[in-house]
Amino acid sequence: MITRYPTKKIYVGDVAIGGDAPISVQSMTYSKTHDIQETLEQIKRLHFVGCDIVRVAVPKMEDALALKEIKSQISIPLIADIHFDYKLALIAAQSVDCIRFNPGNIGEKSRIKEIVKACEERSIPIRIGVNAGSLEKEFEDRYGATAEGMVASAEYNIKFLEDLGFEDIKVSLKASDVERTVEAYRMLRPKNNYPFHLGVTEAGTIFHATVKSAIGLGALLLDGIGDTMRVSITGELEEEIRVGRAILKDSGVAKEGLNIISCPTCGRIEADLVKAVAEVEERTKHIKAPLDVSVMGCVVNAIGEAKHADVAIAYGKGKGLVMLKGEVVANLDEKDLVDRFVLEVEKMAKEVQ
Ligand code: SF4
């Protein structure tokens, strides 16, 4: 049983983060933000696959100036990601739903004060986005690019914002390796109740990013840490959301969609299970009901798994069984099994929704 750390609830647009809100999944476009059409295209793709919040990079004035138009054409909350130039944050704050900045590269505190004022005026939150690769010099000199350094930077900046009376905050502590990332979040978690945005940054291409994020974010989620998250994958959009949702589901944090149990196959296999599971995945991906289903290649473990599954297939030689909660409801030719299985899953999904 996972018990989430109790955190303060904040809002990015209409998406609640922290408290009892579901853990949201975010992503970031890779277009030049001032290319409004391309940015909108990417945001729509993300929204379509279930992204809760989208972030865009704002490195130049033309990007900051494009935000108003982008915001007017989307219905998903928008975060502006600011590095170096605080003036861009002041413009962005007039249109977006949240500002993310990295205190390490904004510089003078008077600039952060101005950002805070602009966010306060529109009642939008700030993400203090600490990154191990760009800590403020004082923390880098004292701690190096360590978890301690990241936590020290976060605590300093949280206090700075609090002293200005600003508490509409979420925090991220990202490093490019799992160990420092997990260590930093674990270290900071008991020290305040602000919601945390989880992520392993610069995690690499899809294979490595998926593994790193599953380990790092999975470990934190199982500790009850995390209120929103992003899986960073080089050059991917939809996959970031798919992997993020899968981490939430497979860590047991989110009860949504099918939990598909399928055997690894072995020499006892009686059917083309790889094809069958791919078809099941494809034909049931619209189902949001939290059902356990199993697709097994022979009867050796199929009956045992089927007892714990809502709907199951057990393949035999040219034939197979469809079972509901362990009870056989059909004994069919192999070619008809997936059709009947999908029918039963859809029926049960309607009943539990
Ligand atoms: S269910 Fe059957 S085919 Fe699949 S791994 Fe187990 S023994 Fe092998």
Average pLDDT over residues 167-192: 96
321 pLDDT above the threshold of 80: yes
105 pLDDT above the threshold of 80: no
* Cα→Cα distances 276→39, 257, 335, Å: 37, 18, 10
In angstroms, the CA 160 to CA 167 distance is 10
298 pLDDT above the threshold of 90: no
Atom of ligand 1 nearest to the CA of 263: 4
278: which 2 tokens? 């791919």
Q: What is the pTM of this model?
A: 0.89
Best residue among 263, 294, 303 to mutate for probing ligand 1, ranked by most atoms within 8 Å of CB: 263
Q: 249 CA to middle of ligand 1, Å?
A: 24
pLDDT of the residue at 304: 82
Best residue among 269, 295, 313, 317 to mutate for probing ligand 1, ranked by most atoms within 8 Å of CB: 269
Average pLDDT over residues 270-288: 92
Q: Enumerate residues lining ligand 1, CB below 6 A.
A: 263-266, 268-269, 296-298, 300-302
Nearest CA to ligand 1 atom 5: 265
In angstroms, the CA 13 to CA 122 distance is 11
SS3 261: strand
User: H or E segment at 311?
Assistant: strand 311-315
276 pLDDT above the threshold of 90: yes
The 10s digit of each residue's pLDDT in 44-80 is 999 999 999 999 999 999 999 999 999 999 999 999 9
Q: Do residues 196 and 24 make contact, with C-beta atoms less than 8 angstroms apart? A: no
For 13, residues 6+ apart whose C-beta sits below 8 A from its C-beta are 53, 76, 77, 78, 97, 98
> Which amino acid does the sequence have at 241?
I
Percentage of the chain lying above the pLDDT 90 cut = 80
Full set of structural domains in the chain with CATH: 10-250 (3.20.20.20), 259-352 (3.30.413.10)
145 pLDDT above the threshold of 80: yes
Among positive and negative, which fits the CA dihedral 186, 187, 189, 195? negative
Q: 199 CA to middle of ligand 1, Å?
A: 36
Q: Do residues 50 and 241 make contact, with C-beta atoms less than 8 angstroms apart? A: yes
Average pLDDT over residues 124-134: 94
